[in-house]
Amino acid sequence: MLIAQLSDPHVRPHGALYQGVVDSNAMFAAAIGQVNGLDPKPDLVLLSGDLVDKGEGDEYAMLRRLLAALEVPCLVIPGNHDDRDAFRRAFADHAYLPASGPFNYVVTDRGAVRIVALDVTLPDLHHGAVDEAGARWLDAALAAEPERPTIVMMHQPPFESGVPYLDAYLCRDGSRLAEIVSRHRCVERIVCGHVHRFMQLRFGGTMLCTAPSTTTAIALRLRPDAKPASYVEPPAMLLHHWRPEVGLLTHFMPIGTFPGPYPFA
Ligand SMILES: [Fe+2]
């Protein structure tokens, strides 16, 4: 099973630039084009939040126009830049999404890997949290199929990155999440968005990685007094490849066209 992960496209209304700097819509279209061009084509695309920038209806309309070109089914979660109600309206045709409340769901019918989405966003706030209800839901969801290889998807990552302006808006109560995940060995990976960078670490006895954004990157600055900034680094995506004999292998893949192919010997 091959699963592409695109994150944080921050789609804007037609003609508007993201942060006044880049055409995030064109960048997301390029990401979609790259997914469509993969051979073999992925079975599934995960969109890990901040699908639009300001949660506005015309942004969601543009998002759906862009997603119409995607030739692979996708699963979506909101991020802190999404608006819960507008998001729900925009994806009313996505039957796996719950009709109310947080966007927690389990999808089991797309291949060998089960996708468990945990909505850690808090309306109108940029940080996230694993509350007790979410934790109980996750525990029960994971217990339903204890042997099933599983990806847990959430938006804000539950760890301190060392980048101060990111850590102000992380997912709080990470220890609550770690305790649950550590009891469910089926969790092959926790995947997040939000930080607009690739990071990986051990968490709750499993592996956790964050996806880069399809648009700008948040600056990698590790001094405690660092000032927030972003850069137009090469956008990228992740490709999670499940093979039973290997496990879940994650590729980091820049988005764009690059010189080559050249002979390799
Ligand atoms: Fe974002």
Tens of pLDDT, residue by residue, the chain (265 residues): 999 999 999 999 999 999 999 999 999 999 999 999 999 999 999 999 999 999 999 999 999 999 999 999 999 999 999 999 999 999 999 999 999 999 999 999 999 999 999 999 999 999 999 999 999 999 999 999 999 999 999 999 999 999 999 999 999 999 999 999 999 999 999 999 999 999 999 999 999 999 999 999 999 999 999 999 999 999 999 999 999 999 999 999 999 999 999 998 7
Q: Which helix (H) or strand (E) holds 211?
A: none
**Peptide bond before residue 259 is cis, with ω within 30 degrees of 0:** no
How far does the centroid of ligand 1 lie from the alpha carbon of residue 144, in Å? 31
At 155 the pLDDT is 98
CB neighbours of 88 closer than 8 A, spacing ≥ 6?
97
Nearest residue to 151 via CA among 73, 242, 70 = 242
How far does the centroid of ligand 1 lie from the alpha carbon of residue 8, in Å? 4
Q: What are 52's strand-pairing partners?
A: 11
How far does the centroid of ligand 1 lie from the alpha carbon of residue 206, in Å? 24
Between CA 170 and CA 172 the distance in angstroms is 6
At 265 the pLDDT is 79
pTM equals 0.98
How far does the centroid of ligand 1 lie from the alpha carbon of residue 81, in Å? 7
At 45 the pLDDT is 98
Q: Is-contact 220 210, C-beta < 8 A?
A: no
How far does the centroid of ligand 1 lie from the alpha carbon of residue 160, in Å? 17
Quote the strand ranges of the chain, DSSP E: 2-6, 44-48, 74-77, 105-107, 114-117, 128-129, 150-153, 171-172, 187-192, 199-203, 206-210, 217-218, 230-231, 236-243, 247-254
Strand order in the sheet with 247-254: 74-77, 44-48, 2-6, 236-243, 247-254
How far does the centroid of ligand 1 lie from the alpha carbon of residue 214, in Å? 10
Residue 189, phi-psi category: left (phi > 0), alpha (psi -120 to 50), beta (remainder): beta
How far does the centroid of ligand 1 lie from the alpha carbon of residue 244, in Å? 32
Between CA 37 and CA 34 the distance in angstroms is 5
At 48 the pLDDT is 98
DSSP3 helix / strand / coil % (the chain, rounded to 5): 20, 25, 50
Q: Is-contact 157 170, C-beta < 8 A?
A: yes
At 12 the pLDDT is 98
Between CA 92 and CA 33 the distance in angstroms is 24
How far does the centroid of ligand 1 lie from the alpha carbon of residue 263, in Å? 38
